[in-house]
Amino acid sequence: MKKMSMKKCLCVIFSLLMVVSSLVVTSSAGSAYQTYTYDKDGMALYSPDAYTAIKAVNAVDMGLETPLANPGDMVTDLSQNIYIADTGNNRIVVLDRYYKLKFTISEFDNDQGVPDSLAAPQGVFVSEPNEKYDRLIWVCDTGSNRVVVFDENGEFIRIIEEPESQLFDDNSVYKPVAIAVDSYNRLYVVSSTTYQGIIVMTDAGEFTGFIGAQAVSLSAWDIIWRRFQTDAQREASETVVSTEFNNVAINREKNLVYATTSTIDDADVEASIRGNDKSGKYSPVKLLNANGTEIMRRNGFHIPAGEIDFSTRSTDDITGVSTIIDVAVGPENTWSLIDEKRNRIYTYDFDGNLLFAFGDNGTMLGNLGSIEAVAYQDTNLLILDKTNNNITVFQRTEYGDILLQTIAAESTQDYDLAIDLWTDVLKRNSNFDSAYVGIGQAMYRNKDYANSLTYFESAYDTTNWSNSYKEIRKEWMSTYFIVLLLIIVAVIVGVVLFFRTMGKINKKVAVSGKKRTFWQEVAYGFHVIFHPFDGFWDLKHEKRGSVRASVFFIVLAIATFYYQAIGQGYLMNPYGGYASIWGQVLGVLVPLFLFVLANWCLTTLFEGEGSFKDIFIACSYSLVPLPLLIIPATIYSNFCVTTETQIVSFIGTLAFIWLGILIFFGTMVTHDYSMGKNVITVLGTIVAMVFIMFIAVLFTTLVGKIVSLITNLVTEIQYRI
What is the model's pLDDT at position 5?
53
Helix then strand count (H, E) for the chain reads: 20, 27
In terms of phi and psi (left: phi > 0; alpha: psi -120 to 50; beta: otherwise), the region of 570 is alpha
**Contact residues for 642 (Cβ-Cβ < 8 A; gap 6+):** 462, 463, 466, 571
**213, 219, 220, 224: CA torsion to nearest 10:** -70
DSSP line for 521-546: HHHTHHHHTT-HHHHHHHHHHS----
What is the model's pLDDT at position 312?
52
Would you say 380 and 396 are in contact if contact means Cβ atoms under 8 Å apart?
yes
Q: Is residue 247 within a helix (H) or strand (E), and if so which, with residue range?
A: strand 247-251
Section 414-438 average pLDDT:
93
CA dist., res. 308 & res. 44, Å (int): 9
Per-residue pLDDT at 24 exceeds 50:
no
HEC string of 491-514 equals: HHHHHHHHHHHHHHHHHHHHHHCC
Per-residue pLDDT at 333 exceeds 60:
yes
What is the model's pLDDT at position 17?
43
**Contact residues for 688 (Cβ-Cβ < 8 A; gap 6+):** 598, 599, 601, 602
Count of beta carbons in the 10 Å neighbourhood of residue 293? 11
For residue 217, the 8-state DSSP code is P
What is the model's pLDDT at position 164?
86
Section 608-626 average pLDDT:
93
What is the model's pLDDT at position 8?
54
For residue 294, the 8-state DSSP code is B
Each residue's pLDDT tens digit, 343-395: 999 999 999 999 999 998 888 998 999 999 999 999 999 999 999 999 999 99
Would you say 631 and 560 are in contact if contact means Cβ atoms under 8 Å apart?
yes
Per-residue pLDDT at 421 exceeds 80:
yes
What is the model's pLDDT at position 6?
53
Query: Residue 77: which of 132, 134, 131 has the closest Cα?
Result: 134
Task: Give burial (CB, 10 Å; 0-12/13-18/19+) of 407.
Answer: buried
Each residue's pLDDT tens digit, 479-498: 999 998 999 999 999 999 99
Higher pLDDT pick, 453 / 169 = 453
Strand ranges of the sheet holding 136-141, from the earlier edge strand across to the other edge: 123-127, 136-141, 146-151, 156-160
pTM of the model: 0.78
Per-residue pLDDT at 540 exceeds 90:
no
Residue 543 vs residues 22, 611, 617, 673: alpha-carbon distances, Å:
84, 13, 10, 20
Pairing of strands 156-160, 146-151: antiparallel
Q: pLDDT class for 7, splitting at 50, 70, 90?
A: low
For residue 201, the 8-state DSSP code is E
HEC string of 335-396 equals: EEEEECCCCEEEEECCCCCEEEEECCECCCECEECCEEEEEEECCEEEEEECCCCEEEEEEE
Count of beta carbons in the 10 Å neighbourhood of residue 511? 7
Count of beta carbons in the 10 Å neighbourhood of residue 697? 10
Q: pLDDT class for 452, splitting at 50, 70, 90?
A: very high
How many alpha carbons lie under 13 Å from residue 131 in its C-beta half-sphere?
2
**Contact residues for 129 (Cβ-Cβ < 8 A; gap 6+):** 135
For the chain, the average pLDDT equals 88
What is the model's pLDDT at position 713?
86
How many residues does the structure list for the chain? 721
Each residue's pLDDT tens digit, 211-248: 988 765 544 455 455 555 555 555 444 444 446 899 99
Each residue's pLDDT tens digit, 168-199: 776 778 899 999 999 999 999 999 888 888 99
What is the model's pLDDT at position 127?
95
Per-residue pLDDT at 315 exceeds 60:
no
Lowest mean pLDDT among 232-246, 254-268, 528-542, 621-635: 232-246
Q: pLDDT above 90 covers what percent of the chain? A: 66
**Contact residues for 634 (Cβ-Cβ < 8 A; gap 6+):** 563, 564, 567, 568, 648
What is the model's pLDDT at position 585?
93
Section 263-285 average pLDDT:
87
What is the model's pLDDT at position 28?
35
**Contact residues for 324 (Cβ-Cβ < 8 A; gap 6+):** 246, 260, 261, 262, 284, 285, 305, 306, 337, 338, 339, 340
CA dist., res. 490 & res. 583, Å (int): 35
The most confident of 81-85, 234-238, 277-281, 339-343, by mean pLDDT: 81-85
DSSP line for 306-322: S-S-TTTT--TT--SS-
What is the model's pLDDT at position 167?
78
Per-residue pLDDT at 641 exceeds 80:
yes
What is the model's pLDDT at position 281?
85
Q: pLDDT class for 19, splitting at 50, 70, 90?
A: very low
Per-residue pLDDT at 96 exceeds 50:
yes
In terms of phi and psi (left: phi > 0; alpha: psi -120 to 50; beta: otherwise), the region of 362 is left
Per-residue pLDDT at 48 exceeds 80:
yes
Lowest mean pLDDT among 15-19, 44-48, 271-275, 627-631: 15-19
What is the model's pLDDT at position 314?
46
What is the model's pLDDT at position 227?
54
Would you say 452 and 440 are in contact if contact means Cβ atoms under 8 Å apart?
yes
Section 304-330 average pLDDT:
81
450 alpha-carbon distance from chain centroid: 27
In terms of phi and psi (left: phi > 0; alpha: psi -120 to 50; beta: otherwise), the region of 297 is beta
